[in-house]
Structure formats: structure tokens, C-alpha cells
Chain A
Amino acid sequence: MSTSVHAVRLVAAHEFRMRLRTGRWKWLLGGFTAVMLAFTWFLATSLNASRDSYYNGETMVHDTTSIGPQMFGILMLFVLGLMLIISPTLTSQSINGDRERGTLATLQVTLLSPTDIAIGKLLAGWSVGLVALALSVPFVLFSVAQGGVGFLSAVATLTVVALLIGVICAVAQALSALMSRSISSGLLSYLATAALTIGTLITYFLALSATSEQKPILIGSDYMTQGVVRHPEEVWWLLSPNPFVILADAAPALPPLRADNGDVVQRSDDPLGSIRRSVRDATLPDSSLPCGGTVYSSSDQPIGDRLTPTIPQCPAHPADPSPVWPWGLGFDLLLGAFAVTVTIRRLRTPATRLGRGVRVA
């Protein structure tokens, strides 16, 4: 059965119209706007109160870029958080809910293909998410207007959020196609979102622990101690699908700040930049090990009653480690594509096998 743009648009427009007429969207979007308004106001007020100069530990830094970058970063993380809460609800009942209402089968016996139905419904759910995202744009532009953040940076960051909404919607829709009951798919959709956000973080730290090793370290010429050597470079990829990591890492870097003496200093007013630095540093070997210290490894050869010390070289860390977001976003987009495939397969008829508890009509 062929898929056409016309058919996908027909399903998407139909679904979107149905959602508009339920009336719930008004509450959803109204609530979203109210929360954004309140949060932006509190954020702007508190940032303005702590404005001016700050001490970075060594010297006085004058913030010449105002509250813009900090406000933009915090606001974008907040918007992403809100969207991750809203998005699963947009599609987590789109297939099994229609089955329960008896409307899915009437669609399946028309000339609409499973792909038309799956993609059309996904586009409708995603569109509602994008409408909510669009409502956050004035607040984001307000933070951009404070200075320090380029307009294109804001567009790029919003685009990443838009793609992540699509991924979450696709996963929730696949779960609604797999589960017979809409309450189960709703719950599992939130668990899947939690797995991407909190789950990746927990898994990363567990894996970091599991891959770390104890080694004797010689400090100076005759002081030996046990040191923990971590290998974040082996497990950093576990963090990459995390939507917050993707957002922070994909957001364009802000221009550097300069201290009174003209030196470039680490920005402490850029939340997205802080996350980006932490994640990118994780792709490199552990830099907490004292360079020039002496580490004995199991492969060291004894000479007399002493081991031959291995003098670890200080790793030559690149000034700007490679970005993580292409891997993470790539993984998430693949996950979304896989979810759409699952949905299409579950919509195929005539069905030879039905899931437990699934009724055709």
C-alpha cells in the first residue's frame, strides 16, 4: 500500500482537528504559558538582583554581557524539562485509545496505509508539542534580548528541543501501539522518558564506578598511596542520549569573558556551557590523577625487590574536546525512527497475531 503526502496530511489534519476540539488543549497550553510567565519573571528578578561583578576565585570579573546567557541557559533547560513532561501525553494513547473507542479499525479498512496512519498521528501529536514550544518562544526571545546570546543560537537550541519532542512522541506512540491499555502505555511513556533523562545519568555513574580501578600511586620520590583511576572515556557515551546533555552540548558556545587583566576566564554564568564542558571532559581520560606521579600497573616488571615505576604522561587534552551531541541526537533520532517502525508494524492488517488483550474492533 503506497504512502502519500496527501494521506499523511489527511490523517494529521484530522487528528489535529480532533485535538483542537476536545478543549483540553486550551488548559494544557494555558497552563504552560502561565508556568513560563511565572518562571521567567522569577528568573529575571533573581538574576537582576545578583547582577554586576563577581569574584571567580582569583580576580574580579565584570559581567559585560548582562543576565542574558544565564537566563537563556536556565530557561532552555526549564523549557526542555516541561516539554519532557508534556510530550508523552501527546501520543501515549493515540493507537490503543483509538482501539478502545473503536475508531482505529474504521481507519484501517480505508485506503490509508499503516504508514499514513502512524506518521499522520505522530505529526499531529508532535504539532501540539511544537505549539507549546512556540508559546515559549517569546520568553526565550526576552532572554535573548538581554544580550549575550545570538539569535541563531536560540534558533539552534529550540530546534534541538523540537526534535527531542518528536522523539519522545514517537516512543510514546509506539508504546501505545504495543500496549492494549492506554493507562499502561501512558505510564511506560513516562518511564521511557525517565530512562532517557535520569536513567542515563544513573547508568553513567554506575558504569564509571564499575570501570574504575585501584592503583598504587607514588607521589614525589618515596610516598606511595592507593589511587582510584576512573575511565570516563570508556563510558561517556551512556550520557549522550540524555536530552539535557544533547541540548547543552548542541547549544552554540557563548563568547569568552575577560578578567580585568585581559585573561580569558571560565564563564560561571552559562549553565548550558557548564554542562557542555563536563560532558565533553568525560570523553577524555581521568584528569584528576596527579600528572608526573608514578603509577605501578600489573604489567610493570620487577627489578630486584622493587617494581619498575611507570611514569604516566600527562594526557595531551585537546583545547576543545569533540562534541557529544551528534552521537546523542543521532541515537535519539534512531530510537524515534525505530519507534515509528514498530508502530507501523503493529498497524499492519490483516493481522496474523494480536497482542495479549488487544481487540481489533
Chain B
Amino acid sequence: MIEEAELAEPRAEAGIVVEDVTRSFGEVWAVRGMSLVVPYGRVTALVGPNGAGKTTLMLMLATLLAPTAGRIRIAGVDPAADPVAVRRVTGWMPDTLGMYDQLKVHEYLAFFADAHRLSKAERAQAVPALLATVRLDEFALAPVHVLSRGQKQRLALARALIHKPRVLLLDEPASGLDPRSRIELRDLLRRLAADGVAILVSSHILSELAEMADRAVFVSAGQVVASREMSDLAAIGSDQRVPWRIRARDPEALEAVLTGRGLAGTASPAGFELPPMTEDQASDLLAEAVGAGVRILAFGPTGTPLESAYLALTEEGRR
């Protein structure tokens, strides 16, 4: 489904427009009538569990798979009709890294620069600049096989950016990244979006997406369940049951309150992990604990607003 707000968007200016796209593999329907719009200058998160159809959609957008039905436009071009035109403007980073381990890091990028028909001058400028951007410049002469998974992930991102794409497709880009790299990835994507690149990021790790996306498209069982601005997400989960964590200066007193309410909290160094409850139930618990004289240090949902919203929306979708 396409949200009404999206329908109002000027699609001609959108980096990606997907309309009622379906893809089957024999009897299995991986994508069933998905519709979404990814505008230029925004980071759009594609959120969903394993098997939701995210990677299949990415493969169709990357010109590798043809849809069984429906229409796709990348920068205004149909990938099925003119895949070359789409490849000129699209960068794709798959979830499998697909590295040539025998090459040196700079050779790897130079090869893809040539494969995208960059001139020698463009290549000479782009390769070191991108290696610096993804903090691999000191490994330029090292063979790819010595890189860690996170470094390979960054090299794959550099490969996707080598021809300065206007549309960027990232499938699980932050898996394997250390915290610093994750922050740098977020900052890089924000910079690219600010430069007008349309970015679609797929992941089932919601905390990653919450850090980098402007907007989220929720998918489940091959369908778009909802599409929301990140700023609107906090409200969606307010009546949903999500896990909470509570920490007190006097844990024994807190445990007595929890036991009294029938809540079997799991003790951890960070506090008690509580079973899913709504915001109303959580505020009642807090009031009771404070009323009982428990000195609370921290209390909040363990997930991000995106996680809460995802649980809420996919639950709605199931109903």
C-alpha cells in the first residue's frame, strides 16, 4: 500500500518509485504488491523481519531481478527497460560482501571504477578519496583478505559509491561494524542525503536504522505494512506492549514490588528486564515503586521508538 502522504509527493523527483510490485520464485511469493517511494535527499529505512521480502526488493531495484508484476522507476527509468541507465545512477551494497580477496584494497576499487567506465583521471581522484571517506586509506596497499568484516563492509560501501550514484541501495550495511564505524556510516549517509542522494537502507536490526533514517517503510510477508516519518514513530507505540528495563539503588526493595505485581523480572547488571507492557502499565508500576519508597535510578523501554512502532505495526498487519 502507498500512504496518502506519499501519493501527494512529486514522484517525478523521487529516486525510487515502486508500484504494486510482485515477485515470485515458483510457488513462493517473496514480494506481493509492494509500493513505496524513496525521495531524493532522504534516508529511507526498509524495516522487516527475515523473509519479509527486503532483499528481493533490493535485487529488483538493483536491476538484477525482474518483477513478476508491477512497475519500478529508478531516477525515472524502468530497470527492466533500460538497466544500463539505472546502473549508471545506482549504487548497491548487498548483504553478502562479495570481495575479491586476492586483490589489494586500492586495486579492488580501481577495478570497479573501470567497470563503471570512469576515466583514468576520475578513477585517480575517486579511489583515494573514497578510501579516506571509509577510513581505509592506510590499508590501500593491503590485500583485501587481511581486512576485518567491518573493514570489508566499509570497502563494499566505497564500491557502491565509486561512480557517485544518485540512488543508493544498502542491504544490511551496518552488520559487523564497530560502534565508531556505525556512527561514521550514519554521518556519511546523512551527508550523502544532504547532497541529494536517495538512500534506501534495509535492515532487520532496528537500532541501526533508528540512528540513520528519516523515514521508515515497514514490510512483512512481502507486503508494505506502513510507512512513517521517524519523528512520528514515538506516538505509534504508546499503547503497545514492549519490554522495559528498570534499575534501582535498592534492588531488593524493587524486587519485592515486582513480585507483588506478579512481574518476573530477570536480573541483569543493567537492572531488571521486564516483560512487555504498555506505557500505562509501566507508569503504574513506576508510581507504585516510588510510593513503596524504592529509589529508582533508571526506567524505560529497552527498544527504540522504531522497534516499538515496528512491533505495533506488524501486530496490526497480522490482525
CB-CB nearest in chain B for A358: B25
Which of B60, B65, B98 is in CB contact (< 8 Å) with A103? Answer: B98
Contact status of A18 and B100, CB under 8 A, knowing A102-B94, A349-B63, A361-B59: yes
Q: Within A301-352, which residues are at the interface with B (CB < 8 Å)?
A: 349-352
Q: Chain A residues near B80: list those with CB within 8 A.
A: 350
| Chain B residue with Cβ nearest A117 | B115
Is A289 located at the chain interface by the 8 A CB criterion? no
B65 contacts which of A21, A104, A350 (Cβ < 8 Å)? Answer: A350
Report whether B97 and A102 are in contact in the complex, using a CB–CB cutoff of 8 Å: yes
B59 to chain A, nearest CB (A): 5
Q: What distance in Å separates the Cβ of A10 from its nearest Cβ neighbour in chain B?
A: 5
Cβ–Cβ contact B102 & A18, under 8 A: yes
Q: Chain A contacts of B94 at CB under 8 A?
A: 102, 105-106, 361
The stretch among A55-63, A107-115, A225-233 that forms the contact with chain B is A107-115
**Would A102 and B98 count as touching, CB distance under 8 A?**
yes
B102 touches A21 (CB 8 A): yes
- Write out, one digit per residue, whether chain B residues 137-163 have a CB within 8 A of any chain A CB (1) or not (0): 000000000000000000000010000
Indicate if A22 sits at the interface (CB-CB under 8 A). Answer: yes
Q: Which among A1, A7, A101, A350 is the interface contact of B79 at CB below 8 angstroms?
A: A350
B83 to chain A, nearest CB (A): 6
Greatest chain A CB density within 10 A among B63, B64, B97 is at B64
Q: Is A51 an interface residue (CB 8 A)?
A: no
| B18-41 residues at the A interface, CB under 8 angstroms | 25
Does B84 interact with chain A (Cβ within 8 Å)? yes
Q: Tell me if A277 counts as interface (CB < 8 A to partner B).
A: no
Q: Is the CB of A111 within 8 A of B88?
A: yes
The residues of A that contact B111 with a CB separation of less than 8 Å are 10, 14
Is B98 touching A105 in the complex (CB atoms < 8 A)? yes
User: Which of B64, B88, B96 contacts A108, CB < 8 Å?
Assistant: B64
- Is B92 among interface residues, defined by CB-CB distance under 8 A? yes
Q: Whole-angstrom distance between the alpha carbons of A112 and B112 in the complex?
A: 10
Which residues of B46-68 have CB atoms within 8 Å of chain A's CB atoms?
59-60, 62-66
A111 touches B117 (CB 8 A): yes
Q: Does B116 contact A (CB under 8 A)?
A: yes
Q: Is B234 an interface residue (CB 8 A)?
A: no
B84 x A109 contact (CB < 8 A): no
Taking the closest CB of chain A, its distance from the CB of B22, in whole angstroms, is 13
Whether, in the assembled complex, B277 has its beta carbon less than 8 Å from a beta carbon of chain A, the answer is no
Specify the chain B residue showing the minimal Cβ separation from A10.
B114
Residues of A within 8 A of B135 (CB): none
Contact with A along B84-98 (1 / 0, CB 8 A): 100110101010111
User: Please, how many angstroms separate the alpha-carbon atoms of A107 and B87 in the complex?
Assistant: 11
Q: For the complex, what is the distance from the CA of A47 to the CA of B261, rounded to whole Å?
A: 100
Q: Are A360 and B84 touching (Cβ within 8 A)?
A: no
| Cβ contact of B100, chosen from A1, A103, A361, cutoff 8 A | A103
Interface: A354 (CB within 8 A): yes
* Chain A, range 260-304, C-beta contacts under 8 Å to B: none
Beta-carbon contact of A101 and B98 below 8 Å? yes
Q: Is the CB of A105 within 8 A of B116?
A: no
Contact of B99 with A by CB under 8 A: yes
Q: How far is the CA of A103 from the CA of B96 in the complex (A)?
A: 9
Contact in complex: B100, A109 (CB < 8 Å): no
Q: Is the CB of A109 within 8 A of B90?
A: yes
- Is B248 part of the binding interface, using a Cβ–Cβ cutoff of 8 Å? no
Q: Are B102 and A109 in contact (CB under 8 A)?
A: no
When the two chains form their complex, are residues A349 and B64 in contact, meaning their CB atoms are under 8 A apart? yes
CA distance A10 to B120 in the complex (A): 13
Given contacts A349-B63, A350-B66, A350-B79, 5 further A-B contacts (CB under 8 A): A1-B83, A102-B94, A110-B87, A349-B83, A351-B66
The contact sample of 9 A-B pairs, CB cut-off 8 A, is: A17-B102, A22-B102, A102-B94, A105-B62, A109-B87, A111-B88, A350-B60, A350-B63, A350-B65
- Nearest first, the 8 closest Cβ-Cβ pairs linking A and B are A102-B98, A102-B96, A110-B115, A21-B102, A350-B66, A103-B98, A352-B66, A361-B94
